[in-house]
Amino acid sequence: MSASSDTGLEMSADGGAAGDCMEREYLELPRPWRLIRTAGWSLAESLGLPAAGYIVGEALGGQGAAMIAATAVVWLTAAVRKVARVSVPWMLLISALVLTLQTVLVLATGSTLFFLLQFPLGNLALCLLFARTAPTGKPLVAQLAAEVVALRRPSSPHAGLDRFFRGATWLWAAIFAATAVGLGVLMAVEPTKVFLLLTTVVTIGGVVAGTFLSALWFVQVKRRFGLRVRCVQA
């Protein structure tokens, strides 16, 4: 009876350890309604508010005023977060940095060339930003996943997941680099109106391609390493 009891305790202990191990293999997402709210708020701060500022500024004072208003809105949002002692998300910081670069280029000269140059240079800046964080312990894709969709990684380090986030960050750096080169070529060979249209197409195409490849890669990593995704009450 004692031996059986001891064996049962050992099995229970092993089972508990295995259960704890499996617990750490979960990737956690908030429930759908909270996920939508989290992602929506992040996009509203980094894209929606600057876009609204741009529209108002353009109506009041033209292109220059529009760029200033968009940049001011995004930096004001970051300042309010700092005053409230709330962390500034990377998505918001990226938007602020890119808008600042574009605004400086637009205001520094009235030249159409420099106005158009903001688009490839903006993508180049994003390429450098992603590439800068890719080899570090905090690749930008991992930070964006935590901020935008509130993804919680396993509590213990996971080599496969870490490699994925670093690789995905390099992937996005490459996409932004290719977009910058492509826009630079288009700027040189296409008239302004056609270039502005193609800029939208190329930018959206790059984001869609990067999102698809990242998601496909993530699914493969999840299957290979037995990671599980579950929704939790955040």
pLDDT digits (tens, 9 = 90+) for 171-208: 999 999 999 999 999 988 888 888 888 888 888 888 88
Low-confidence stretches of the chain (pLDDT beneath 70): 1-26, 29-32, 34-35, 38-39, 109-114, 154-157, 231-234
Q: What is the pLDDT of residue 32?
A: 67
59-74 tens-digit pLDDT: 888 878 888 998 999 9
Phi–psi pair at 35, nearest 5 degrees: -60, -45
d(CA 180, CA 170): 15
Q: Which residues contact 123 (CB under 8 A, 6 or more apart)?
A: 176, 177, 179, 180, 183, 203
The answer to whether 133 touches 139, Cβ cutoff 8 Å, is yes
d(CA 75, CA 89): 12
Q: What is the pLDDT of residue 168?
A: 92
- Report DSSP letters for 187-227, one per residue: HHHS-HHHHHHHHHHHHHHHHHHHHHHHHHHHHHHHHHHT-
Q: What is the pLDDT of residue 9?
A: 33
Q: Which residues lie across from 27 on neighbouring strands?
A: 229
Q: What is the pLDDT of residue 171?
A: 94
d(CA 197, CA 41): 28
Longest dimension (CA), the chain: 90
d(CA 103, CA 98): 9
Q: Which residues contact 111 (CB under 8 A, 6 or more apart)?
A: none
- 88: burial class by Cβ within 10 Å (0-12, 13-18, 19+)? middle
